[in-house]
Amino acid sequence: MKIVVCVKYVPDATGDRGFNEDGTSDRESVDSLLSELDEYAIEQALQIVESGVEAEITYLTVGPDDAKDALRKALAMGGDKAIHVNDDDIQGTDALGTSLILAKAIEKSGYDLVVCGMASTDGNMGVVPAMLAERLGVPQVTFLDEVKVEGGVVKGRREGDVASETIEASLPAVVSVTDRTGEARFPSFKGIMAAKKKPLENLDLDDLGVESDEVGLSAAWSTVDSATARPPRSKGEVVEDEGDGGVKLAEFLAAKKFI
């Protein structure tokens, strides 16, 4: 069977992230990397294959030129091939548009199972997997802390709004996994060398039959009016505990009327 893992290339969360004049996210001043939460998706796809399910793993990203780095890292962890959708007209696309492009690329490559992260570490919306399921017309088995594929059925545990739920669906399906599914492996040296030889296909909007006026900043379904840096918190008083740290803290809380 065919597994497609969606991975996003994002500005490093530990860097000084910000916005451009036009409200799009600034990808120049901060290094980008494979979204850490997508490493869990890669790990689970690899484990599904290692559990005995015969499958080919394809990584898919929609992003700028450097987004290839994310695909290379994924391929170094394991898996078979990668697809990079890149087009000048994509910049500034919102979740509706991104899910449209991803869905077209997934349909083109063929799939039985789509695996996503729970959310990107930049937009952090946690909606693309549900949108993909909606667009592809297949079940969503999302937000899983545990995932298993057996006999054409995908099953998992989801921390729902008020209960912990066991959910299942028949393939084909879209899955998303949380950071509680287990730590992702590091690429080995051998893996990094092998990744260089794995096929990486480049696609643009034409290849996917997406019109350039359907996506991108000008076609976005929503628009940013302003993005303002919050003033950094000013650092208050920090005292050394000399046996009365708790009392001093209580005095602070009392002055602030918390006690």
Partner 1 sequence: MGEILVLVDHVDGAVRKPTLELLTLARRLGEPSAVFLGKGADAATETLGRYGAQKVYVVDAAEIDDYLVVPKADALAQIAQSANPAAILVPSSADGREIGARVAVRLGSGLITDAVDVVAGENGPETEQSVFAATYQVRAHVTKGTPVITVKPNAATPEEAPATPAVESVSVEFSRAATGTKIVSRAPREKSDRPELTEADIVVSGGRGVNGAENFVVIERLADSLGAAVGASRAAVDAGWYPHSHQVGQTGTQVSPQLYIAAGISGAIQHRAGMQTSKTIVAINKDEDAPIFDLVDYGVVGDLFKVVPQLEEEINKRK
Ligand X SMILES: Cc1cc2nc3c(=O)[nH]c(=O)nc-3n(C[C@H](O)[C@H](O)[C@H](O)COP(=O)(O)OP(=O)(O)OC[C@H]3O[C@@H](n4cnc5c(N)ncnc54)[C@H](O)[C@@H]3O)c2cc1C
Q: Which residues are at the interface with ligand X (CB under 6 A)? A: 6-8, 25, 35-38, 41, 60-63, 93-96, 98, 102, 116-117, 119-129, 179, 222
Find the part of the chain contacting partner 1 (CB under 8 A) among 55-63, 85-93, 94-102, 196-204: 94-102
Answer for which of 32, 93, 142, 181 binds partner 1 (CB under 8 A) is 142
Question: Under the criterion CB under 8 A, does residue 252 sit at the interface with partner 1?
Answer: yes
Find the part of the chain contacting partner 1 (CB under 8 A) among 45-53, 67-75, 88-96, 207-215: 88-96
Binding to partner 1 (CB under 8 A) within 48-67 occurs at none
Nearer to partner 1, 160 or 199 (CB): 160
103-120 core/surface letters (b: 16 or more CB in 10 A; e: else): bbbbebbebbbbbbbbbb
Question: Under the criterion CB under 8 A, does residue 193 sit at the interface with partner 1?
Answer: no
* Closest CB 63 distance from partner 1, rounded Å: 18
Question: Under the criterion CB under 8 A, does residue 138 sit at the interface with partner 1?
Answer: yes
Nearer to ligand X, 35 or 181 (CB): 35
Place of tokens 């005995």: 52
Q: What phi-psi label fits residue 217: left (phi over 0), alpha (psi between -120 and 50 degrees) or beta? A: alpha
Question: Under the criterion CB under 8 A, does residue 31 sit at the interface with partner 1?
Answer: no
Nearer to ligand X, 125 or 193 (CB): 125
- Measured CA to CA in angstroms, residue 4 lies from 55, 107, 180 at distances of 10, 10, 21
Q: Which helix (H) or strand (E) holds 37?
A: helix 36-50
Q: How far apart are CA 120 and CA 25, in angstroms?
A: 13
Question: Under the criterion CB under 8 A, does residue 14 sit at the interface with partner 1?
Answer: yes
Find the part of the chain contacting partner 1 (CB under 8 A) among 43-51, 75-83, 104-112, 113-121: 113-121
Question: Under the criterion CB under 8 A, does residue 121 sit at the interface with partner 1?
Answer: yes
* Closest CB 137 distance from partner 1, rounded Å: 6
Question: CA nearest 94: which of 23, 36, 41, 143?
Answer: 23
Place of tokens 């602070």: 252
- Measured CA to CA in angstroms, residue 143 lies from 101, 122, 146, 218, 222 at distances of 22, 18, 9, 31, 25
* Closest CB 201 distance from partner 1, rounded Å: 26
User: Quick one: DSSP state of residue 233?
Assistant: P
Q: Which helix (H) or strand (E) holds 5?
A: strand 2-6
| Two tokens, residue 87 | 């087009």
